Amino acid sequence: MENTKENPTKKVALHTLGCRLNFSETGSVAKGFTDRGYEIVEFGEKADVIFVNTCTVTDAADSTCRNLIRKAHKSSPEGKIVVAGCYAQMEPETIANMQGVDLVLGTSEKYKVFEYLNEEDTTAIHVDKTTDFYGAATTTADSHTRAFLKIQDGCNYVCSFCIIPFARGRSKAISINGALENAKKLIEDGFKEIVLTGVNIGEYETSSGEKLTDMVKALLDLEGLERLRLSSVEPNTITDELLEVFKSSPKFKDHFHIPLQSGDDEILKNMRRKYTVADYKKVINKIITAFPNAGIGADIICGFPGETKEQFENTYNLVKELPITHFHVFPYSKRKGTTAGRMDNHIHSATKKERVKSLLHLGEAKLALFSEDQVGSQSEVLFERRTKDGLYTGYTTNYVKVYVETELELKNQIRSVYLKEYKDGKVFAELIQ
């Protein structure tokens, strides 16, 4: 049936905050909307439904969520606002009391959004304990060129600063066969690169009874898959066997994200992390031995309760020493219900900001040096989009962003490039014909 003015196509706007796991989940929800005839529009445009997938890892994330809800209501005062995910799981009443919110869905209930959309309650809340695994993956409804495939959710670790185990529940995982089925669909949809995501994917075997190495091997054998990466992996779960599997295939790319959080053993112990500084160094050295040109990202928390100047300097000096190229730095955020939230000696916000600023400057300098070191080399780039100034941009295998001047349409293409110049904070490359 053709759409008419009396029966127009419904529109949905989606917004995702937080991790790659959230992006994979929003992708699955987006596919559900398009399958039901909805047109996806930019967040901020007028829409019949506005779906906000939230994060609650920090106070700043919560504040951003609230601002997005206000923006959604302003742009679509008649639209149905659905707030889902981790912040919705932890603070449903706070969200439900905000102007314009129609539906609050926890981390499991977000997948049931279509069951709840027609409810006529003033504001409906659906938040249960997250015990089931719900698969998710990027879809063609997204604009991403790389696909995020969710293989694990929840966490059995109880790091003293982290609220996520309370928001997402205990660790659970997809089967290898399930992951392969999802991966095949992604390849059929035209995705050339898959990133495996989860809250704690290194615990996959504990959750599923199957080995992560077996899953990676099976995925690397899939015809049509050209690139595979893992998202954040806890350092204590990186095994020699896993690194050997990575090395065995040119499809696995030399880019890693290994959370550090602190470079001081006492702080790590108080955080309830499962490794020491020496353990972390050993893992990074193993990665660099296996992948000498690897890009390595790390999460770092500044201003954990009781962190002294000397302890911060231990972190600063460690990340300066190690070949970490991509810094993800956060001020410690007090979360209600966590052990760290009840600790004494909380650090003043000004001190935390100063420490964050110091590490960010170091991170910018190290990424600049790493990027400049790539000049003169060749790499394979998955191109993503054309910038406003007409250059095409994408990422090398080790996650260096490059810019190419070309008239060709390169979106979602993998092309060989020569990295020719580092200028004004950017790496410029040319296509190798």
pLDDT digits (tens, 9 = 90+) for 195-228: 999 999 999 999 999 999 999 999 999 999 999 9
Average pLDDT for the chain:
91
d(CA 280, CA 61): 28
Task: Supply the pLDDT for residue 139.
Answer: 63
Please report the domains of the chain, with CATH numbers, ordered by start residue.
11-126 (3.40.50.2300), 146-373 (3.80.30.20), 378-431 (2.40.50.140)
Task: Supply the pLDDT for residue 111.
Answer: 85
Task: Supply the pLDDT for residue 120.
Answer: 62
% of the chain exceeding 90 in pLDDT: 73
Q: Which of 138-142, 175-179, 188-192 has the lowest mean pLDDT?
A: 138-142
d(CA 160, CA 332): 11
Q: Which of 190-194, 264-268, 323-327, 372-376 has the lowest mean pLDDT?
A: 190-194
pLDDT at 283 over 50: yes
d(CA 69, CA 81): 8
Answer with the residue of higher pLDDT: 327 or 337.
Answer: 327
pLDDT digits (tens, 9 = 90+) for 115-134: 888 766 657 778 777 666 66
Q: Mean pLDDT, to the nearest integer, of 175-187?
A: 94
Q: Is 320:361 a contact under the CB 8 Å cutoff?
A: no
Task: Supply the pLDDT for residue 121.
Answer: 60
pLDDT digits (tens, 9 = 90+) for 352-406: 999 999 999 999 999 999 999 999 999 999 999 999 999 999 999 999 999 999 9
pLDDT at 5 over 50: no
d(CA 302, CA 291): 29
Q: Is 51:12 a contact under the CB 8 Å cutoff?
A: yes
Residue type, 432: I
pLDDT at 31 over 90: no
